[in-house]
């Protein structure tokens, strides 16, 4: 008996102890359906004829897991043979605890070309909802998901044509380590070029202690009521993306804490969940669960800015279509507060509109103020949930809410609470002011999930902080500004390194509107000068945004302009510096902003105006996020490299492709953490940390913020968690990794040279090389983004592994990895165990610099006789493109194309690109003709067949049969011919698909 069998037997015994019924008799589709029928008829108190059950089964089985998941949670309608209606549910949706919970193992499902065995499946009322895959090997989250993906890609798999379509959760465990993740449509599982995929979780307790052993996990996660609750309450069906989400443990504990507090009427409370941890989803789930609480009259989700109002509504409606509507004005808010409509029970609004509604002096309507009209709600139970509850005006509105709604319960979400230590701040005019502490307003902490927890869980990234010292011998004092010219020059010098050659973008935070304008103009001048000195210089796309002086936008008698001015005023309520700055020389500010917007329109082909500032601001935010697209899909000229701000975008703005913050303003405590946190959203290994370049020497402020918000009470430990190792430590690790690779090569009787990698004998040696060099590359990727390396350190890094040698090793790695990946894909579970476990992480080898356009530009330079640039040989150019994984699938064609070019005949980039496309078409036609001739087919017929596959991205087996029909083969001969033809055709189809997935093709791989 294998260890895997032991784990399986032990799990079944554990689930039996948890009162699951073990059904050893259910091992195939027939018995699975028979059992479901019995459970369905008992639940719905009905007896179906065989024909009725067959029709019901065909109606409910849906290859779309999102549609099936909705059906699982809702009451459905079925018309019986005699015409009478049957309103039914598949499970007891009112009380999931009262369903029948069963466990089965070794279920076998036949697919079109093979069969699958599933280790353990949990049935709720006969419906398969959880699949548990057990491993004897060490597992990585990525590899765990990959096996499920392979199963789901197999044509005719059970997830598309049987009751397995209702599968909600996957669990993968090797007994000591357990992961879980939600089922989804195939496109959400796809491993794209950036290696982003759905989150894989480990369960944890309320203190974020991981529960990974399968026995403990079963007790805490798989107990019947807990699992029923997890599926019914704590999974979210995201309508707009047709995606299933399972909430993270800390989100679930926060929701439970709020709901329990309300059910027991235990006063107020706050949730301390760090920025970037998914507070919107948590608050959405809390508010929607309250919808069904009859004791709660209304639930208001309150934000403090118009842009956050829009953003929150979009997020809420993304989770559930039509769940909240826009309150265009205070009148709409009041009307919806008084409405008895179920759809108006949850309301998203701004603190400003709420404040006006409770202002006894504001706006008479039919002789009544808004406040008087709200009188019927006065003694009702209203729940208020505040987002980022540390803002200044929350304290002012708190009193009004408590006075008017004495039975209200207030809950706050914050990533950075206000404690006594950070409650005092300097106003713009130098006066001291203070916030109310979060505890003053909300009484008690209900659940913490600090930035320390999030970094440890890899839910957000650590920070690399470069405290810029400048070139001179005199260091700036803490908080003291360095000359803006010097800062701008330093930014231009460091930007490529900081942003991984513009793969990411950056924010420059400045201390005033005047400073922002000055920076904008300095960058403009500096870049124009660089362009004059070097015509090949490609300027950074630098944009600036700050709020305009509202008083100069409003025009007497013009309602739209007055509305625009009111929007700006509302926006400025949390932009203290900008609000104050706009009081001094407002005409200058307006003129400067108009000029900046005019430049923006010219750069991006837009037509924004200062009078409709909100439209400009929204477009800037969208364009920052457009960095997620490759330059091939969305040219760099359309993107933003650096956005200069004063107060804007430093809170509440999220983009995974923003990795750098340049700081030239004094920050403290929560404002520092909020600003830094714009950079630390997790993407993949090309973004190892959030990059901070501080030009104000704010080490002390950073240390104070870490100590206050770590939630650890141990500043030294928190620093280790929050901040990446300094450059010397990573350089030492890099050197050791390179030395380890050298020792490995020597152990194989080979010298430590890139070309020797091709002489490695056997899979084990090649696997060890992959592991060794991947660590070298990971550390080098980190070092490449350190902005504080001095000249000596840069030389050490080059000496450890010279650039040419590193590039050659990358090429050797990619070629070796490609060969091993082919074995993985072809042999699957029959591949050697070491190869099965390999995770190549090609994203580490994707160069943001060496892309298609870059290579074509180099060819143009090298074939141009007039070019004065240093020439490269064809061999050097081919070596360069071989070192980048983003050109891996194009490598063969590009190499052939380069080798066929006349190196002395000049062509520009456009001609070269057109020539390459023609070359690929002609090469593909030749290769197809060769395949057609080899297999006795007409070339035209084979081309029509492949064109149809690529146009639809679907492989159709019946069309393959039609293609081979003229050969008049017996079915056995045809099967052999199909396999032989597809072996030759699959590489062609994959090349034409350009990394896109062709549905149904995996059956032949």
User: Quick one: pLDDT band at residue 632, thresholds 50, 70, 90?
Assistant: confident
Q: Do 111 and 202 have their domain in common? A: yes
Q: 736, 684, 735, 734: which is closest to 841 by C-alpha? A: 684
* Lowest mean pLDDT across 82-86, 124-128, 174-178, 822-826: 822-826
pLDDT of residue 684: 82
pLDDT at 473 over 60: no
User: Cβ(626)–Cβ(638) under 8 Å?
Assistant: yes
Q: Is 413 helix (H, G, I), strand (E, B) or coil?
A: strand
pLDDT of residue 873: 79
Higher pLDDT, 39 or 848: 39
Higher pLDDT, 3 or 417: 417
pLDDT at 114 over 90: no
Residue 15 lies in a domain: yes
pLDDT digits (tens, 9 = 90+) for 921-949: 888 889 899 999 899 989 898 889 998 88
| Percent of the chain predicted with pLDDT > 90 | 46
Asked whether the CA dihedral 681, 687, 689, 692 is positive or negative, the reply is: negative
Max CA-CA distance within the chain? 95
pLDDT of residue 168: 96
Of 633-637, 638-642, 667-671, 836-840, which has the strongest mean pLDDT?
638-642
Examine the fold and report which residue of 845, 864, 889 is the final residue of a domain before the chain moves on. Answer: 845
Q: Do 241 and 253 have their domain in common? A: no
* Lowest mean pLDDT across 57-71, 135-149, 739-753: 135-149
Residue 897 lies in a domain: no
pLDDT at 476 over 70: no
User: Quick one: pLDDT band at residue 275, thresholds 50, 70, 90?
Assistant: confident
Average pLDDT on 391-399 reads: 63
The residues that bridge with 302 in the sheet, in sequence order, are 349, 386
* Lowest mean pLDDT across 39-43, 314-318, 338-342, 586-590: 314-318
pLDDT digits (tens, 9 = 90+) for 505-554: 999 999 999 999 999 999 999 999 999 999 889 999 999 999 999 877 76
* Dihedrals phi, psi of 629, to nearest 5 degrees: -85, 145
pLDDT digits (tens, 9 = 90+) for 298-342: 998 887 655 555 666 666 666 555 545 555 678 888 888 999 988
Residue 858 lies in a domain: no
Determine which helix (DSSP H) or strand (DSSP E) holds 108, and give its type and residue range: strand 101-110
User: Quick one: pLDDT band at residue 240, thresholds 50, 70, 90?
Assistant: confident
Q: Do 603 and 476 have their domain in common? A: yes
Q: Which residues contact 775 (CB under 8 A, 6 or more apart)?
A: 737, 740
The residues that bridge with 843 in the sheet, in sequence order, are none
Q: Do 487 and 388 have their domain in common? A: no
pLDDT at 504 over 90: yes
Average pLDDT on 162-169 reads: 95
pLDDT of residue 524: 96
* Lowest mean pLDDT across 714-723, 781-790, 796-805, 842-851: 842-851
Average pLDDT on 759-787 reads: 91
The torsion angle over the Cα atoms of residues 701, 703, 707 and 713, rounded to 10 degrees, is -160
Q: Do 834 and 925 have their domain in common? A: no
Q: Do 362 and 402 have their domain in common? A: yes
Antiparallel, parallel or unpaired: β 127-134 and 115-124:
antiparallel
| Measured CA angle at 331 (ends 613, 394), to 5 deg | 70
Average pLDDT on 837-852 reads: 72
Average pLDDT on 718-737 reads: 92
Radius of gyration over alpha carbons of the chain, in Å?
A: 31
Residue with token string 């020539």: 915
pLDDT digits (tens, 9 = 90+) for 863-907: 777 766 667 778 888 878 777 777 777 888 888 888 888 877 778
* Lowest mean pLDDT across 400-414, 464-478, 674-688: 464-478
User: Quick one: pLDDT band at residue 589, thresholds 50, 70, 90?
Assistant: very high
pLDDT of residue 43: 96
Average pLDDT on 355-372 reads: 76
CB atoms within 10 A of CB 327: 22
Average pLDDT on 387-402 reads: 68
Residue 851 lies in a domain: no
Determine which helix (DSSP H) or strand (DSSP E) holds 875, and give its type and residue range: helix 874-882
Q: Do 614 and 652 have their domain in common? A: yes
d(CA 59, CA 71): 11
Determine which helix (DSSP H) or strand (DSSP E) holds 974, and give its type and residue range: helix 971-993
Q: Do 693 and 830 have their domain in common? A: no
Q: Do 658 and 679 have their domain in common? A: yes
Residue 27 lies in a domain: yes
d(CA 590, CA 396): 31
Sequential DSSP letters for 466-525: EE---SSSSPPPTTPPPPHHHHHHHHHHHHHHHTTTTTSEEEEEESSHHHHHHHHHHHHH
Residue 768 lies in a domain: yes
Domain holding 270: CATH number?
A: 3.40.50.300
Tokens, residue 415: 């990533």
User: Quick one: pLDDT band at residue 651, thresholds 50, 70, 90?
Assistant: confident
d(CA 800, CA 740): 12
Antiparallel, parallel or unpaired: β 127-134 and 169-173:
parallel
* Dihedrals phi, psi of 839, to nearest 5 degrees: -120, 110
pLDDT of residue 195: 47
Q: Can you give 940-959 as a three-state secondary structure string?
A: HHHHHHHHHHHHHCECCHHH
Q: Do 461 and 323 have their domain in common? A: no
Examine the fold and report which residue of 677, 699, 724 is the final residue of a domain before the chain moves on. Answer: 724
Give the domain extent around 283.
249-449
* Lowest mean pLDDT across 265-274, 537-546, 996-1005: 996-1005
d(CA 130, CA 122): 5
| Percent of the chain predicted with pLDDT > 70 | 88
Overall domain count for the chain: 5
Stated pTM of the model? 0.83
Q: 813, 745, 805, 747: which is closest to 775 by C-alpha? A: 813
pLDDT of residue 192: 44
Domain holding 138: CATH number?
A: 3.90.1570.50
pLDDT at 395 over 90: no
User: Quick one: pLDDT band at residue 1, thresholds 50, 70, 90?
Assistant: very low
Residue 893 lies in a domain: no
Examine the fold and report which residue of 433, 449, 465 is the final residue of a domain before the chain moves on. Answer: 449
pLDDT of residue 492: 96
Of 186-195, 627-636, 637-646, which has the strongest mean pLDDT?
637-646
pLDDT mean across residues, the chain: 86
Q: Do 122 and 215 have their domain in common? A: yes
User: Cβ(175)–Cβ(136) under 8 Å?
Assistant: no
Average pLDDT on 757-779 reads: 91
Distance from chain centroid for Cα 983: 36
Q: Do 112 and 254 have their domain in common? A: no
pLDDT at 74 over 90: yes
User: Quick one: pLDDT band at residue 434, thresholds 50, 70, 90?
Assistant: low
The torsion angle over the Cα atoms of residues 80, 82, 85 and 88, rounded to 10 degrees, is -30
The torsion angle over the Cα atoms of residues 272, 278, 281 and 283, rounded to 10 degrees, is 20
Higher pLDDT, 110 or 730: 730
Q: Enumerate helices (H) and strands (E) in the chain, giving the number of each.
A: 39, 28
Residue 888 lies in a domain: no
């Amino acid at each position: 008996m294998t260890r895997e069998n032991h784990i399986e037997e032990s799990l079944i015994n554990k689930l039996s102890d948890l009162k699951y019924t073990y059904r050893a008799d259910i091992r195939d589709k027939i018995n699975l359906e028979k059992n479901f029928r019995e459970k369905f008829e008992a639940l719905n108190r009905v007896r179906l004829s065989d024909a009725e059950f067959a029709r019901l089964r065909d109606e409910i089985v849906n290859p779309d897991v999102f549609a099936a998941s909705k059906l699982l949670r809702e009451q459905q309608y079925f018309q019986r043979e005699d015409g009478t209606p049957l309103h039914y549910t598949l499970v007891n949706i009112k009380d999931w605890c009262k369903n029948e919970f069963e466990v089965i193992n070794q279920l076998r499902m036949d697919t079109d070309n093979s069969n699958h065995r599933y280790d353990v499946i949990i049935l709720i009322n006969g419906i398969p909802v959880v699949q548990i895959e057990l491993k004897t090997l060490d597992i990585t989250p990525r590899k765990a998901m990959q096996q499920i993906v392979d199963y789901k890609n197999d044509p005719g798999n059970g997830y598309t044509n049987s009751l397995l379509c209702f599968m909600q959760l996957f669990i993968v465990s090797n007994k000591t380590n357990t992961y879980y993740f939600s089922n989804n449509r195939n496109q959400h599982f796809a491993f794209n070029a950036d290696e982003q995929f759905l989150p894989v979780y480990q369960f944890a307790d309320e203190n974020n202690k991981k529960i990974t052993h399968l026995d403990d996990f079963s007790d805490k996660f798989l107990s019947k009521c807990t699992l029923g609750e997890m599926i019914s309450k704590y999974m979210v069906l995201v309508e707009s993306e047709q995606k299933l989400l399972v909430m993270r443990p800390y989100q679930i504990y926060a929701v439970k804490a709020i709901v329990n507090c309300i059910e027991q009427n235990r006063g107020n409370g706050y949730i301390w969940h760090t920025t970037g941890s998914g507070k919107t989803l948590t608050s959405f789930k809390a508010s929607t669960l309250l919808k069904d609480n009859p004791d709660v009259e209304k639930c208001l989700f309150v934000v403090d800015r118009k842009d956050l109002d829009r953003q929150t509504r979009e997020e809420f409606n993304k989770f559930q279509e039509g769940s909240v509507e826009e309150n265009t004005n205070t009148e709409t808010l009041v009307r919806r507060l008084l409405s008895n409509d179920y759809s108006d029970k949850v309301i998203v609004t701004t603190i400003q509109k709420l404040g006006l509604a409770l202002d006894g002096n504001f706006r008479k309507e039919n002789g009544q103020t808004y406040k008087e009209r709200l009188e019927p709600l006065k003694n009702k139970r209203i729940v208020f949930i505040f987002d980022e509850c540390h803002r200044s005006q929350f304290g002012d509105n708190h009193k009004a809410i408590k006075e008017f709604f004495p039975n209200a319960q207030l809950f706050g979400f914050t990533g950075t609470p206000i404690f006594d230590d950070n409650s005092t701040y300097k106003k713009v005019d130098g006066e001291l002011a203070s916030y109310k502490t979060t505890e003053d307003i909300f009484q008690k902490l209900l659940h913490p999930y600090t930035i320390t927890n999030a970094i440890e869980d890899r839910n957000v990234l650590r920070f690399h902080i470069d405290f810029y010292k400048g070139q001179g011998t005199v260091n700036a004092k803490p908080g003291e500004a360095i000359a803006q010219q010097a800062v701008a020059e330093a930014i231009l010098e460091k930007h490529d390194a900081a942003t991984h050659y513009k793969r990411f973008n950056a924010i420059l935070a400045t201390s005033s509107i005047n400073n922002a304008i000055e920076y904008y103009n300095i960058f403009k001048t500096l870049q124009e000068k660089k362009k004059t000195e070097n015509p090949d210089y490609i300027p950074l796309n630098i944009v600036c945004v700050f709020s305009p002086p509202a008083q100069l936008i409003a025009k007497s008698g013009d309602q739209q302009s007055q509305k625009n001015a009111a929007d700006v005023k509302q926006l400025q309520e949390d932009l203290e510096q900008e609000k104050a700055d706009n009081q001094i020389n407002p005409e200058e500010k307006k003129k400067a902003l108009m000029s900046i917007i005019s430049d923006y329109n010219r750069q991006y082909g837009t037509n924004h105006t200062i009078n409709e500032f909100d439209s400009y601001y929204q477009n800037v935010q969208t364009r920052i996020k457009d960095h997620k697209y490759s330059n091939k899909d969305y040219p760099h000229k359309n993107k933003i490299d650096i956005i200069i701000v004063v107060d804007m975008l430093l809170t509440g703005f999220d983009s995974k492709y923003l990795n750098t913050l340049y700081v030239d303003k004094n920050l403290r405590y929560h404002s520092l953490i909020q600003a830094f946190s714009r950079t630390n959203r997790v993407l993949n290994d090309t973004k190892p940390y959030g990059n901070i370049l501080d030009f104000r020497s704010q080490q002390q402020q950073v240390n104070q913020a870490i100590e206050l918000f770590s939630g650890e009470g141990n500043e030294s430990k928190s620093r280790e968690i929050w901040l990446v190792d300094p450059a010397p430590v990573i350089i030492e690790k890099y050197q050791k990794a390179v030395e380890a690779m050298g020792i490995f090569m020597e152990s194989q009787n080979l010298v430590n040279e890139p070309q020797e990698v091709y002489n490695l004998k056997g899979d084990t040696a090649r696997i060890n090389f992959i592991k060794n060099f991947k660590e070298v590359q990971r550390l080098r990727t980190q070092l490449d983004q350190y902005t504080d390396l001095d000249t000596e350190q840069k030389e050490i890094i080059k000496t450890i592994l010279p650039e040419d040698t590193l590039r050659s090793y990358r090429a050797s790695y990619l070629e070796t990895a490609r060969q091993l990946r082919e074995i993985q894909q072809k042999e699957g579970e029959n591949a050697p165990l070491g190869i099965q476990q390999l995770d190549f992480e090609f994203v580490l080898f994707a160069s943001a610099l060496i892309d298609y356009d870059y290579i074509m530009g180099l060819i143009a330079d090298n074939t141009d006789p007039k070019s004065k640039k240093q020439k490269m040989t064809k061999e050097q150019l081919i070596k360069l493109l071989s070192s980048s994984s983003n050109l891996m699938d194009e490598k063969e064609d590009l190499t052939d194309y380069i080798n066929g070019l006349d190196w002395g005949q000049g062509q520009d980039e456009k001609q070269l690109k057109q020539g390459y496309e023609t070359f690929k078409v002609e090469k593909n036609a030749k290769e197809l003709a060769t395949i057609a001739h080899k297999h006795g087919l007409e070339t035209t017929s084979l081309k029509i067949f492949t064109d149809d596959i690529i146009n639809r991205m679907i492989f159709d087996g019946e069309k393959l049969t039609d293609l081979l029909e003229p050969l008049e083969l017996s079915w056995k001969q045809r099967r052999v011919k199909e396999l032989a033809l597809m072996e030759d055709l699959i590489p062609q189809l994959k090349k034409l698909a350009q990394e896109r997935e062709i549905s149904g093709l995996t059956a032949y791989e």
